[in-house]
Amino acid sequence: NYIKIFAPATVANVSCGFDSMGFAVDTIGDEMTFTKTVKKGVKITQITGANGLSSGPTKNVAGVVALAMLKQHPVDFGIEITMHKGYSPGSGLGSSAASSGGAAFGVNELLGKPFSTLELTKFAMLGEEAACGTPIADNVAAAIFGGFVLIRSYEPLDIVKLPVPDELQLVAIHPQIEVKTKDAREVLPENVPLKDAITQWANVGGLVSGLHTNDYQLIANSLTDVIVEPARKHLIPHFDLVKNEAIKAGALGAGISGSGPTIFALCKGKKSATNVYKAIQNAYSDKNIDFNLFTSKI
Ligand code: HSE
């Protein structure tokens, strides 16, 4: 009658895989509870950890997802949701996806698990659509499936779970400014030169292969984005500095996490992650922008 879950933060795109790759973060995320109620419908009774989120079930992404699930699978009870946001919306770490994906998972448990993981991802995408206007799957699929995922196809939806090499570590810096995904999508190019498209899809292939074969050099070579990062990086204060310092300190690669402003770096091993952490900290410490810096296993 009651379930408490951890809904992880997620890094989408992972440089070359715009809207088609993502991974879940171990150490940062939201806590959500789901309780059966006698009164039918969906009620969000508590939101802590973030300001300005509506608790109206049709306005909050968790409510949007829960209502859609109840519509497709009617039951004779209602669901009460609480959420504690572990990080702020507009961070580029899939905050809305944690709420949407968490809601899909939690509600499914109370309903007796009628839906498959793929179906849960589709419900969670409705939350993403409500949040930013586009039903993007990269963050929600990573939150629901865990680990590294590839959205091989949107129609029909096909999610491929990828292996995560043992030593892969994340270092991420979240400058405390907000970038709305909707705004970050408005700066995207409408057309892509064939040459850039070739570079991009070749790198996606390289990254997928590197993850499968534990080939850290191949992963490093493939963490390149010639399409989205150049169009968006001006939205993120000191992006080039952080990226360069991270790579100089030994990161395999670095890029924009989702639609930013968080910048992620992938590293091989904890020692390298510590070096990269320190280099980023140094680079940002005199910049008069508050930031949250963290490492995580993937
Ligand atoms: N792939 C999305 C973007 C992630 O970069 O706009 C945000 O959900």
Distance 135 CA to ligand 1 centre (A): 10
Strands 21-37 and 148-153: antiparallel
pLDDT computed for residue 88 by the predictor: 87
Nearest atom in ligand 1 to 256's CA: 5
Mean pLDDT of 276-298: 95
Q: Which residues line ligand 1 (CB under 6 A)?
A: 12-13, 18-19, 136, 138-139, 181, 184-185, 258-259
Would you call the peptide bond into 165 cis, given omega within 30 degrees of 0 as the criterion? no
Look over the chain and give the mean of its residue pLDDT values, rounded to a whole number.
97
How far does residue 1's CA lie from ligand 1's centre (Å)? 34
Average pLDDT, integer, range 153-178: 97
Q: Inform me whether the pLDDT recorded for 162 exceeds 90.
A: yes
233-264 burial, b at 16+ Cβ within 10 Å, e below that, comes to: bebbbbbeebbebbbebbbbbbbbbbbbbbbb
Place of tokens 């709305």: 180
Does residue 164 surpass a pLDDT of 90? yes
Q: Whose CA is nearest to atom 7 of ligand 1?
A: 258
Q: What is the ipTM of this complex?
A: 0.98
pTM reported for the whole predicted model = 0.96
Q: What is the pLDDT of residue 218?
A: 98
Long-range pairs for 116-119: beta carbons < 8 A, 24 or more residues apart: 117/144, 117/145, 118/157, 118/159
pLDDT digits (tens, 9 = 90+) for 237-279: 999 999 999 999 999 999 999 999 999 999 999 999 999 999 9
Report residue 51's pLDDT band, with 50, 70 and 90 as the boundaries: confident
The first and second tokens of residue 145, run together, are 């499936």
Q: Does the annotation mark 181 as catalytic?
A: yes
Q: What are the distances in angstroms from CA 278 to CA 122, 252, 275?
A: 39, 15, 5
Which of 149, 259, 263 has most ligand 1 atoms within 8 Å of CB, for mutation?
259
What is the structure's pLDDT at 10? 98
Q: How many CB atoms lie within 10 A of CB 176?
A: 11
User: What is the whole-number distance in angstroms between the Cα of residue 16 and the centre of ligand 1?
Assistant: 12
- 23-36 pLDDT per residue, tens: 999 899 999 999 99
Active-site pick, 10, 35, 82, 181: 181
DSSP 106-137: HHHHHHTS-S-HHHHHHHHHHHHHHHHSS---
Strands (E), the chain: 2-12, 21-37, 41-48, 78-84, 148-153, 158-162, 168-175, 253-256, 263-268, 291-297
Mean pLDDT of the region 121-137: 95
Q: What pLDDT, on a 0 to 100 scale, did the predictor assign at position 175?
A: 95
Is pLDDT of 71 > 90? yes
The two most distant CA atoms of the chain are separated, in Å, by 59
Catalytic residue among 121, 128, 224, 262: 128
Query: Which numbered atom of ligand 1 lies nearest the CA of 132?
Result: 8
Angle at 47 between CA 42 and CA 52, to 5 degrees: 110
Per-residue pLDDT, 220: 98
CA of 12 to the centre of ligand 1 (A): 6
Q: Average pLDDT for residues 90-119, to the nearest whole number?
A: 97
Q: CA–CA separation, 294 vs 11, rounded Å?
A: 13
Range in 107-116, 161-170, 175-184, 213-222 the model is least confident about: 175-184
pLDDT band at 217 (very low <50, low <70, confident <90, very high): very high
Among 71, 81, 88, 101, residue whose Cα is nearest residue 28: 88
d(CA 51, CA 56): 14
